[in-house]
Amino acid sequence: MGALYMGNKPLLHVDQRVSVVVEQLLRLLHHCGAPPTDVDLLHGPGTTMGDVLKGAEPRSTLFTGSQRVAERLAVELHGKVFLEDAGFDWKILGPDVRDLDYVAWQCDQDAYACTGQKCSAQSILFAHSNWVIAGLLDRITDLATSRKLSDLTVGPVLSWTTKSILDHTKRLLQIPGAKLLFGGKPLSGHSIPEVYGAVEPTAVFIPLEQALLPEHFGVVTTEVFGPFQVVTEWQDGQLPQVLDACERMSHHLTAAVVSNDINFVQHVLGNTVNGTTYVGIRARTTGAPQNHWFGPAGDPRGAGIGTPEAIRLVWSCHREIITDFGPVPPPSFLVQS
């Protein structure tokens, strides 16, 4: 809609598995009076869309999706692109424990609501040991294991199969000190086709020192677009390692700093670069109560979604008109240079 607001004629393409939904939205817009020629929709595979982009030379492209396709598009389109790609999003719990039930509930929501299929999902949790001692992980386990297919608090995964999620879980569990907190099993009693994923909400604990090792860091920070998260623990004195981990992640979409200690909060904010960062004891990585700018930071190609400023950035650009209607100066002022 932002593209339309700014007067563009967009060509819309979404993953062919959900493209039918967008078509219905467009038909709804037409029903409400939108001119049918204002938006084009392309059904089909991404390769077809890629061919069209090459031929059409659009002025700008907004891409939301995987990091791999994003980088390829950036090259093919010579950088004429805005990206809102990979979301391996972190949450840091500070040393000040309070409102335990609320924080546990928010962790469960951030990681597993919508079966974890949102680019803002909580992918890794850095819990200060004070929270672990206070019983946060038990509380999260209680919440996650109560999710079930029958009330739709868990469901099918579109882009990862059951096998690929469980294989990824196994790889993580081979890291020294790793342990399964909960999940790690297929869902049962359902008719979800095999091309989709169907697993219980899952969390794997990895010791902080192990997660930071170069041989593990890549797999630990791989985004699973499903009901899956990594959990780790840090103690006083280990904040530099936590911040180092955040810095080494390649993409910086959302993040949360759960603490009401203003000096702790300012220190973490001053040493990280994520685009949409929630801070305070109620901090979340996803499902913001109102419509914020949503997008990564630290990359000139970074897209923003939602607010007027974000729409202006992505779907318009600055144009400077200087009016100079006169009067003209006298001839004596007109010298050559």
Nearest distance in Å: CB 171, a copy of itself: 27
Residue 56 touching a copy of itself (CB under 8 A): no
Told to check if 322 binds a copy of itself by CB under 8 A, we report yes
Closest distance of CB 106 from a copy of itself, Å: 9
Among 124, 24, 84, 97, CA closest to 296? 84
Give residues 61-80 in contact with a copy of itself (rule: CB under 8 A).
71, 74-75, 77-80
Given the structure tokens 């890549």, which residue do they identify?
Answer: 218
Query: Residue 280, SS3?
Result: coil
Among 32, 150, 319, 332, binds a copy of itself (CB under 8 A): 319
Q: Residue written as tokens 């598995």?
A: 17
Pick one of 52, 105, 238, 241: the residue that binds a copy of itself (CB under 8 A). Answer: 105
- Which residues, 214 to 233, sit near a copy of itself by CB under 8 A? none
Is residue 106 a contact partner of residue 282, using CB atoms and an 8 Å limit? yes
Asked if 134 is part of the footprint of a copy of itself (rule: CB under 8 A), the reply reads no
Identify whether the C-beta of residue 169 lies closer than 8 Å to the C-beta of residue 184: yes
User: Any idea what DSSP says for residue 148?
Assistant: -
Which residues in 12-31 contact a copy of itself (CB under 8 A)? none
Which residue(s) pair with 126 in the sheet?
92, 232
**Total residues in contact with a copy of itself, by rule CB under 8 A:** 75
Q: Is 279 in the site for a copy of itself (CB under 8 A)?
A: yes
Figure out which of the listed residues 156, 281, 285, 311 binds a copy of itself, where binding follows CB under 8 A: 281
- Give the angle 26-226-111 at the CA atoms, nearest 5°: 105
Task: Return d(Cα 203, Cα 272) in angstroms, integer.
Answer: 24
- CB of 28 or CB of 100, closer to a copy of itself: 100
Nearer to a copy of itself, 206 or 227 (CB): 227
What are the φ/ψ torsions at residue 12 (nearest 5 degrees)? -100, 135
Query: What character string, x for contact with a copy of itself (CB under 8 A) and - otherwise, covers 285-304?
Result: ---x---xxxx-xxxxxx-x
Q: Which region, left, alpha or beta, applies to residue 98 given φ > 0 means left and ψ of -120 to 50 means alpha?
A: beta
